[in-house]
Every structure is written in structure tokens, then in C-alpha cells.
Amino acid sequence: MRKTAKTIVTASAIAVLMGSFVLAPSVASADAAAGKKVAESRKKGNCFACHAYQGAKLPGNIGPPLVAMKARFPDRAKLQKQLDDPQSNNPDTMMPPYGKHEIISKKDIQNVIDWLYTL
């Protein structure tokens, strides 16, 4: 009886953990979804023109691929600075200064970061 109860408790704990992994992305999903729309909009971000990422149709290869963004930019402020004014990190970059030149709003930049952190 004890072994059966232990198995049930272990299976329940695993189910709860797996459920939390499934639910975790949906916490910021509205902002991330809005960020993806901005990133894929030809009139706003147009990220796929230069970057490849999972699900991009006809992505460019001028910029680095957008993968493991949270691991590459664990400091959200550094990623925000990269989107806001990439020339401050690399004066020779071809990336547009989305925030500095007000190409997209500060809220849009935050939403794009939320989306990038899902990649």
C-alpha cells in the first residue's frame, strides 16, 4: 500500500510540474504575442528581414539568429539597450535604433523583448 501511495504522489508531483511548464509561457503570452506581431510587421520591427528564428518565413541572414535569447541576454536591460540603440554597443552595426529614432514605442520594445525571451 505504501509503495502505491508513493507512486501516486510522485506521479501527481510530476504532473503538477509538467503543467506549470505548459502554463509558464502563457503568463506573458499576451505581451509576447503582441511583441511577435511588432517583430513580424513590415511597418514596424521587420525582424525577419535580417534575423532567422523558429517559424520565420523567408528569414534573412544579415543578423544573428534569434535563438536562446534569454540565455544570451540574461540582463533584460542589455537587450533593451540593444533594441533601443544598437550603435552604442557596435558603431558599425546595420541594425536600426528602434527606440532612439522612435521607430517603435517603448511598450512595443518591451513586448518584443517578452517575445524574444520565448525563443
Per-residue pLDDT tens over the stretch 60-116: 999 999 999 999 999 999 999 999 999 999 999 999 999 999 999 999 999 999 999
Is residue 11 in some structural domain? Answer: no
Residue whose C-alpha is closest to residue 111's, from 100, 99, 101: 99
Residue 60's domain spans which residues?
A: 28-116
Is residue 104 in some structural domain? Answer: yes
Contact in structure between 96 and 17 (CB atoms under 8 Å):
no
Is residue 52 in some structural domain? Answer: yes
Is residue 55 in some structural domain? Answer: yes
Q: What is the DSSP letter of 119?
A: -
The CATH number covering residue 103 comes to: 1.10.760.10
Question: What is the pTM assigned to this prediction?
Answer: 0.73
Total domains in the chain come to 1
Residue 108 and residue 38: Cα distance in Å, rounded? 7
Residue 44, φ and ψ in degrees, nearest 5: -120, -100
Is residue 106 in some structural domain? Answer: yes
Is residue 64 in some structural domain? Answer: yes
